[in-house]
Amino acid sequence: MHGKRVLVSGAGGFIGRWSVPALLRLGYEVHAVLSGNAGRDVPAQLEGAKIHFADLLDPSHVDALTSEVKPSHLLHFAWIATPGVYWNSAENFRWLAASDQLLRCFRAHGGSRVMMAGSCAEYDWSSVEVCDELSSPLAKTKTAPPSGAVDVGDSGAAASPYAACKIALQKRLDDFGRREYLSTAWGRIFFQFGPYEHPDRLVPSVICNLVLNREAPCSHGRQIRSFLHVADVGEAFAAVLDSELEGPVNIGSDERVALADLVDRIGRQIGRPELLRVGARPAPLREPALLVPEIHRLRDEARWRPRFTLNEALSDTIAWWRSRLLERNHGERE
């Protein structure tokens, strides 16, 4: 095999699409996998990549795809991500099995380096505030999917099916890599926003309400988080994949912000801070007051830095949603 050939699953998704331009700049031959059929729209960010349409939940599609492409690298994002659904969906167990199948087929056809997308939901939020990849406890689960038990510990907060399956997949990836002498990395994604995010999420919901001159109800906003622009998340994955870094690595920012401050910045950039209604919504039950990543592995070992500051990320996202809403209103008038 000549050069670096990467297969990117979930390449049409909110995060996956942003990894492709970064991989192309790093010199990869990029093969982007989309769900659906050839009639669907292809994101503009995938220009320069070879597009494949496949159902990764179908083992025959997975084997045919990896046999055709024979990638040297695999960057795996594909998973159920429907807001309000994915956290407790049984589909998580199907994606756990499908991801395991993809990993095995990738290796069988000569693959040598793989990175998969995890989540900060893997951490035990009841006992950790600043999450360290190598020392912080993970959530407890003894959830039993159809294919067998997922058991990752005996103490700590109970994991959702989403977190349980991500924890199980990371363990399988690590074990498989050791047995097969395969280089592996696992990206635990923290918080992000940017173009193409689901409009019901915090940042786009506040932006859209304010741009449309409507009140924007929020919780008390005392929760401390850190955010990246989604393009930076995609670029971070590309950077880690292209490095020799192995094991779990947090994908996040070291700039902490209270959610009330975050929405206030949005209000001031748009010019309608008086429409913010902080405290109008209840905060989710058992939501941690502080949840942020330790990013020494991403910063010092992968030597990666974000392109966007928080204010720049908000400005770019506001501009994108303004354009989107303007196009929608123009279309409705025609």
Give the residue from 58, 38, 243 showing the smallest Cα distance to 66: 58
Region 8-19: what's the mean pLDDT? 98
Longest dimension (CA), the chain: 60
Give the residue from 69, 118, 149 showing the smallest Cα distance to 237: 118
Least confident of 1-10, 179-188, 291-300: 1-10
The residues, ordered by sequence, that sit 6+ positions from 248 with a Cβ below 8 Å of its Cβ are 118, 133, 134, 170, 185, 186, 187, 188
Task: Give the per-residue pLDDT at 153.
Answer: 43
Bridge pairing between strands 191-193 and 224-229 = parallel
Task: Give the per-residue pLDDT at 142.
Answer: 63
Contact 275, 210 (CB under 8 A): yes
Task: Give the per-residue pLDDT at 285.
Answer: 85
Contact 35, 12 (CB under 8 A): yes
pTM of the model: 0.93
pLDDT digits (tens, 9 = 90+) for 286-334: 889 999 999 999 999 999 999 999 999 999 999 999 999 988 765 555 5
Query: Please, which pLDDT band fits residue 158 given cuts at 50, 70 and 90?
Result: confident
Region 220-245: what's the mean pLDDT? 98
Q: How far apart are the first and last CA of the chain?
A: 53
Task: Give the per-residue pLDDT at 157.
Answer: 65
Helix-, strand-, coil-residue percentages of the chain, each rounded to 5: 40, 20, 40
d(CA 115, CA 176): 13
Contact 70, 7 (CB under 8 A): no
Query: Please, which pLDDT band fits residue 147 given cuts at 50, 70 and 90?
Result: very low
Residue 131 has pLDDT above 80, yes or no: yes
Average pLDDT of every residue of the chain:
93
Region 208-217: what's the mean pLDDT? 98
Choice between 148 and 119, residue whose per-residue pLDDT is larger:
119
d(CA 77, CA 236): 13
d(CA 234, CA 22): 8
Contact 20, 11 (CB under 8 A): yes
Contact 169, 116 (CB under 8 A): yes
Residue 145 has pLDDT above 90, yes or no: no
pLDDT digits (tens, 9 = 90+) for 64-114: 999 999 999 999 999 999 988 999 999 999 999 999 999 999 999 999 999
